[in-house]
Structure 1
Amino acid sequence: MAKLLPRADAVNREGAPAYAYGPEAKLAQLAATGTLADNFYGAAETQLTDVLDAARAVDPVFVAQAAVYARSSGSMKDMPALLAAYLTVADPDLSVPVFGRVIDSGRMLRSFVQIMRSGQVGRTSLGSRPKRLVQRWLEEASMRDLMAAATGSDPSLADIVKMVHPKPADAARKAFYGWLIGRPYDVAALPAEIAAFEAWKQDNTLPLPSVPFEWLTTFPLSAEQWAVLATRMGWQALRMNLNTLARKGAFDVNGITEAVAARLADAQAIEKVRPMPYQLMVALGQVGDGVPLKVQAALEDALELSLQSVPTVPGQIVVCPDVSGSMSSSVTGYRKGASSKVRCIDVAALVTAAMLRTNRAARVLPFEQTVVTLKLDPRARLAVNAAKLAAVGGGGTSVSAPLALLNAQRAKVDLVVIVSDNQSWVHTNRAGATATMAEWDVLKRRNPDARLVCIDVQPYGTTQATGRADILNVGGFSDSVFDTIARFVSGETRDWVEIVSQVEL
C-alpha cells in the first residue's frame, strides 16, 4: 500500500521532503496568511515574489477570488491590496470590481497606492484606470471615512489627493482638501469636525472634537479627556489601548470602567468588527494590573463570542498543535517596530482550545519532535487552555509524530486536525512519501472514513500531506478556518481551492 503513496516532490525550508502546493492552492494560502513581512524561514521579498509568481500561473479570475476571500473572510490587508494592484496590469477590467470589494478603508487605499507606486506589479505610477478608481473612492467616501484615512502615512492621504486630484463635490469637501494638503481654503466652508478641531487646538478646554482619536493623543490630555476617548474610539482601538487608558487615569473617572466593559463585550459590535480571536487572546495576556478586572473579564467574554462559529464535529476527534521552536515566531512575520505579538504557537493553541471547547471528548496531542504530554480541562475557558498550550515550546518538528502515536495505540479516529507551519524535518530519512503520509496511510487502513485537516499558519508553499479527498490543506488564522473544517467534514467541499473558487465577484 505504501508504495502507492505519492512521492514527495519538493523540499521545505528545512530541506526535508515535502509536497508542493499547486499554483492555485499556493496563491490561496499566501492570500489568506501572507503579510509581506519577514517570518521564521523567509524574507518578505521572497514572499512577494512567491505570490506574484503564483498569481501569474493561474487565471486572473482566481486571483480576484483569492483577493476577495482574503479580505472578506480572512480580514487580511497586505495580500488583498497586492492582488488588487496586480489585476490592474493582468486584467484591468476585472480589477474594477475587485477594487470595490477589497479597498474598503483608508488603510487599504494607502496600501494599494503604495504597492502600485513601488513597481512590484509592473508599473511605478497609478495609470489612468487605477487613478480613476482612487478618485472615485475619495469622491464617494464620507467625511468620517476621509478623516480616518488621513490617519497614517507612506503615503499619506494628502499625498494621494495630490496624486489623483479628486473633484470636490461641494465647498466643504473643497475646503477639506485644501486644509489637508496645506493650500488656501475657505475657513467658513470647513466641515464642522475640522473647524472644531482647529478651535480645540487653540483652546483645549473646549469639548473634544469628533475627529479620529489619534489626532488628539498627540496633545496633552487630562484623565477626563482620555475617558471621553474611551467611549469614542473604535472597538479595535479600544482593545489595543486598554493599558494606555489605565496609565492616563481614564478608569478613575466615574462610570468609564463599566462603559468600556460593556463596549468590549457587545455581541453586535464583535459581529460587525470580527476581531481576530488570536489578537484577543494575546490582548488578555498583555493587559496590565491597572486595567480593572471587570474590563479584563469583558475582554475574555469577547474572545468567547468571537469563536461561536467553532463546529461540533461527530466522532473521535484528535487535535494536534505544533509546539516546536519555529512556532514561536510572529504569525504575521517580523516588521521593524510593528511585529504582531501573536505567535504561530498562539494560533495553534487557540484553534486547539476552541475545538476542545465544543468537542469536549477530543484528544489533544501537542507535538514537537515527539508528542508532548499535557492535560487540559475541556470545561475551562478558552484563554486558560490556550495559555497552557502556548507555554509549551521548543525542539524540532515532526508532523508525523501524533499520527505515529495514534497508530501505535491502534486508536479509533474520525478526524485529525494538525495545526503547524509544516516545516517538518525530524523522521524524514526515507525515500518516497513523507513520514506524515506514510503514517496517515496506516491510520486510514484501520479507519477508512477518517479525514485529515492540516491548518498551515505560515505561507511557505509546501505541506507534509498532499491534498486529496480525505485530506484538506487550509491556510489562515481567522475564525473562517472553523467553518472550512465543518464544510469539509460534512462533505460540502473537497479542498481549499474549491472554497476560494466559490467566491462571487
Structure 2
Amino acid sequence: MANPQLFAPALPTGLSRNQEGALAYAYGAEHLLAQMACTGTLYDGFYGKAEDQLTAVLAAAAQVDPIFVAQTAIYARHTARMKDMPALLTAYLTRAAPDLSVPVFRAVIDSGRMLRTFVQIVRSGRAGRKSFGTRPKRLVQRWLEEAPLLVLLQAATGKDPSLADIVRLVHPRPADASRRAFYGWLIGRPYDLAALPSEVAAFEAWKRDPRLPLPPVPFEWLTHFPLNGVQWSELTDRMGWNGLRMNLNSLVRHKAFLVPGLTERVAARMGDLTEARRAKLMPHQALGALLALVPAVPEPVRAALAKVLEESLAEAPTLLGRIVICPDVSPSMEAPVTGNRQSASTKLLCRDAAALLTVALWRKNPEAGVLAFDLGVQPISLDPQVDFQANHARLAGLRGNGTAISAPVRALVELRASVDLVILLSDNQSWADAPQPERTALLAAWDEVKARNPTARMICIDLQALGTSQAPERADILNLGGYTDGIFPAIQRFVGGGPSTDWVSLIKEVKL
C-alpha cells in the first residue's frame, strides 16, 4: 500500500479539513480575513499558533482588495474592538496601499497603546516592510504633533517600544518650547526646566521628595513606587473606568479599601453605565474582571460591577420565533479566549465567552431553548428568577468530552422540533460527528431541519481564528466571528432578512 496520508482520497469540491483533520468548509479570503481580524489575538491558542495566525491573516490580506483590508481594520477596531489585528492590517496597508493607510491609520490608531503596537509591528518587518519608510514615519510624526499633551502623557506608559523610543525614531517637530522640553525630558536629552510641562515638573519634584502631594500625571507613572493605601485611594480618581476595573485587586493588595469612603466611591463609579460606555466597555471585559476578583474586594464593588455587566447586555437583540441557542462545552473551550499569554492570560475562557453570549441572548429571548453540546447534548434549564452571574455560572460550569457540533441540530431532527433560528457558539473544531461522504454532519442535520422548517436560519458564531466552519455560507446560514457584543447588530440584521445580510457585506459598508 502506498502512503495513505500522501494518497488520501480527494475531498469533494468546497470541502476542507479543520485543525482536527475532520471535514469542514474553508472560509473564502474575505471572510477569513474578517474572521482573523475579529477573533485572532496573535497568541497561541488551543489549536492555532501565533505564527500560524500571522501567516494566515497576511496571506488573506494579499488575496483581497486593499479597500476591504482597510474596511476590515476599521471594523475590527471599532466594532469587534480588537487591538493587535487592526494595528497589523494598518501596518500592512502602508506597503500594500500607502494612500489607503492614511485614513485607516487615523481611524485605527486612536490611543498611545495602539500607536506603540503599530510601531512595534512596522519595525519588526513582519508586515512586509524592510524599513520604517517615509509614509509610516510621517503618520506617526503627525500623530505625535497633533496629540494634546495629556494624551502624550498617557502614551508615555509601556515599553517595547516606549514613547521615548518612538520619538527617537521619527523625530517629531515640537510645536512650542513646552513640547520641546517634554521630548528632551522623555528621551534623556538636555531640556529647558522652566519650559517643562507643569505635570512633568511636579513629577520630578515628587520623585526627589515623596512627601509632596502626588503629581498630576497618569496613575501608571506612579504605581511602581511604594505608595500607601491613602495614596492608592487618591489614584482611583485619576483612573478611567477601565483602569479602575483592572486595578480592583491592586486596591485590595495595597489596603486602599481601608480608607474611609473609598468603597462607596469605587462602587459608584463601577456601577455607572454611562461612564462604562464612555470607556467602551465590552461585556466580556466586565465578566473577566468579575471572574478575576480576589475575595477581599468589597461586596458593594463586586455588586456594582455585576450590575453594570447586566445593563451592558441590553444590546442583545430581541428575536422573533422559536429559537435554540447551542454553546460548545468541549475541552478545547477551556482555552483563554484571547490566547495563551503566560502570566498575563485572561481568566476568561472560550466557554465563559460562549456562556456570556448565550445567557445574554436568552435573557432577551426567555422562551429560547438552550442545548449545550460536546459529543452529545447536555440540556440545561436557565432560571429567570436569578441574576446573570448565577445563570452564567450554571452554564459555564458544564464540562464535556470531544466535539460533535452537529449534536444539538441532530437532536432537533430527532425531536421533530419546530424551529426558526439556531445559534451555535463554538471554536468550530468538530471531529466526532457521524461520518458523511459529501458534506459535514452539521450541514446534513441542518438540511433535515430545513425539510420540516423551510424558513429556518442558522448562525454559527466562531470564537477562535482557525479558518474553517462546519456549515458553508448561504442564504439561510450566517458565519460570524467574535466574542464581543459587536456581533449583536450582525445577528439582528441577518434575522431581519433583506439583501446583503452576510458578514462580509456588513464590513463592506464601513466608510473610509
TM range (shorter): over 0.9
1:83 aligns with 2:83: no
- The alpha-carbon deviation at position 270 of structure 1 amounts to 1.6
Post-superposition CA distance 1:345-385 (Å, at most 9, x none): 11100011101111111100000010113221134322221
Q: Work out the CA distance in 2 between the residues paired with 1:18 and 1:94.
A: 34
Of the candidates 36, 41, 50, which is equivalent to residue 44 of structure 1? 50
- Whether the 8 Å CA contact 1:360–1:379 is kept in 2: the answer is no
1:264 aligns with 2:277: no
With over 3 angstroms needed to count, the CA separation of the structure-2 counterparts of 1:378 and 1:482, relative to structure 1, is farther
1:95 aligns with 2:95: no
**Secondary structure of the equivalent of 1:372?**
strand
Give 1:176's aligned residue: 182
- Whether the 8 Å CA contact 1:8–1:17 is kept in 2: the answer is no
1:404 aligns with 2:449: no
Give 2:505's aligned residue: 498
Show the 5 A alignment for 1:229-268: 229-268=235-274
Q: Work out the CA distance in 1 between the residues paired with 2:385 and 2:188.
A: 59
> Which ranges of structure 2 fall in alignment gaps of 5 or more residues?
1-11
With over 3 angstroms needed to count, the CA separation of the structure-2 counterparts of 1:412 and 1:7, relative to structure 1, is farther
Q: Work out the CA distance in 1 between the residues paired with 2:427 and 2:335.
A: 10
Of the candidates 108, 114, 130, which is equivalent to residue 124 of structure 1? 130
Q: Work out the CA distance in 1 between the residues paired with 2:190 and 2:332.
A: 55
Of the candidates 23, 29, 47, which is equivalent to residue 23 of structure 1? 29
- The alpha-carbon deviation at position 403 of structure 1 amounts to 0.3
Give 1:3's aligned residue: none
Moved more, 439-448 or 376-385: 376-385
1:275 aligns with 2:281: yes
Show the 5 A alignment for 1:366-405: 366-405=372-411
The code of the aligned residue for 1:282 comes to G
**Secondary structure of the equivalent of 2:356?**
helix
Post-superposition CA distance 1:298-347 (Å, at most 9, x none): 00011112211001101111000000000000111112332222111111
- Whether the 8 Å CA contact 2:291–2:348 is kept in 1: the answer is no
Give 1:487's aligned residue: 493
Post-superposition CA distance 1:28-55 (Å, at most 9, x none): 1111111111111111011000000000
- Whether the 8 Å CA contact 2:375–2:400 is kept in 1: the answer is no
The code of the aligned residue for 1:80 comes to P
- Whether the 8 Å CA contact 1:7–1:434 is kept in 2: the answer is no
Moved more, 274-283 or 242-251: 274-283
**Secondary structure of the equivalent of 1:365?**
strand
The code of the aligned residue for 1:112 comes to F
**Secondary structure of the equivalent of 2:478?**
strand
Q: How does the TM-score come out when normalised to structure 1? A: 0.97
Show the 5 A alignment for 1:10-409: 10-409=16-415
**Secondary structure of the equivalent of 2:145?**
helix
Moved more, 494-503 or 62-71: 494-503
The CA RMSD over aligned residues, in Å, is 1.2
The code of the aligned residue for 1:42 comes to G
The code of the aligned residue for 2:195 comes to A
Runs of 4+ in structure 1 off by over 3 angstroms are: none
Q: Work out the CA distance in 1 between the residues paired with 2:46 and 2:389.
A: 25
The code of the aligned residue for 1:25 comes to H
- Whether the 8 Å CA contact 1:106–1:146 is kept in 2: the answer is yes
Q: How does the TM-score come out when normalised to structure 2? A: 0.96
Q: Work out the CA distance in 2 between the residues paired with 1:379 and 1:11.
A: 43
Give 2:467's aligned residue: 461
Post-superposition CA distance 1:184-237 (Å, at most 9, x none): 001111111101111111222222112121211111111111101122212111
**Secondary structure of the equivalent of 2:324?**
strand
Post-superposition CA distance 1:418-452 (Å, at most 9, x none): 00000000124221010000000000110111110
**Secondary structure of the equivalent of 1:162?**
helix
Post-superposition CA distance 1:243-263 (Å, at most 9, x none): 110221211112111111111
The code of the aligned residue for 2:97 comes to D
The code of the aligned residue for 2:506 comes to I
Q: Work out the CA distance in 1 between the residues paired with 2:68 and 2:25.
A: 22
Give 2:6's aligned residue: none
Show the 5 A alignment for 1:441-460: 441-460=447-466
- Whether the 8 Å CA contact 2:35–2:480 is kept in 1: the answer is yes
With over 3 angstroms needed to count, the CA separation of the structure-2 counterparts of 1:498 and 1:163, relative to structure 1, is same
Moved more, 53-62 or 288-297: 288-297
Give 2:5's aligned residue: none
- Whether the 8 Å CA contact 2:27–2:469 is kept in 1: the answer is yes
- Whether the 8 Å CA contact 2:291–2:347 is kept in 1: the answer is no
Aligned length: 500
The code of the aligned residue for 1:497 comes to V
Post-superposition CA distance 1:271-297 (Å, at most 9, x none): 212222112112212222221111001
Moved more, 170-179 or 368-377: 368-377
- The alpha-carbon deviation at position 486 of structure 1 amounts to 0.8
Moved more, 330-339 or 91-100: 330-339
**Secondary structure of the equivalent of 2:205?**
helix
Q: Work out the CA distance in 1 between the residues paired with 2:455 and 2:505.
A: 21
- The alpha-carbon deviation at position 8 of structure 1 amounts to 5.2
Give 2:8's aligned residue: none
Q: Work out the CA distance in 1 between the residues paired with 2:45 and 2:414.
A: 35
**Secondary structure of the equivalent of 2:180?**
helix
1:435 aligns with 2:435: no
- Whether the 8 Å CA contact 1:33–1:458 is kept in 2: the answer is yes
- Whether the 8 Å CA contact 1:247–1:290 is kept in 2: the answer is no
The code of the aligned residue for 2:468 comes to T
Moved more, 172-181 or 299-308: 299-308
The code of the aligned residue for 1:73 comes to T
**Secondary structure of the equivalent of 1:148?**
helix
Q: Work out the CA distance in 1 between the residues paired with 2:243 and 2:402.
A: 37
Moved more, 170-179 or 263-272: 263-272
Moved more, 194-203 or 459-468: 194-203
Post-superposition CA distance 1:148-200 (Å, at most 9, x none): 11101111111110000000001111111001000100111111110111111
> Which ranges of structure 1 fall in alignment gaps of 5 or more residues?
1-5
The code of the aligned residue for 1:111 comes to T
- Whether the 8 Å CA contact 1:114–1:155 is kept in 2: the answer is yes
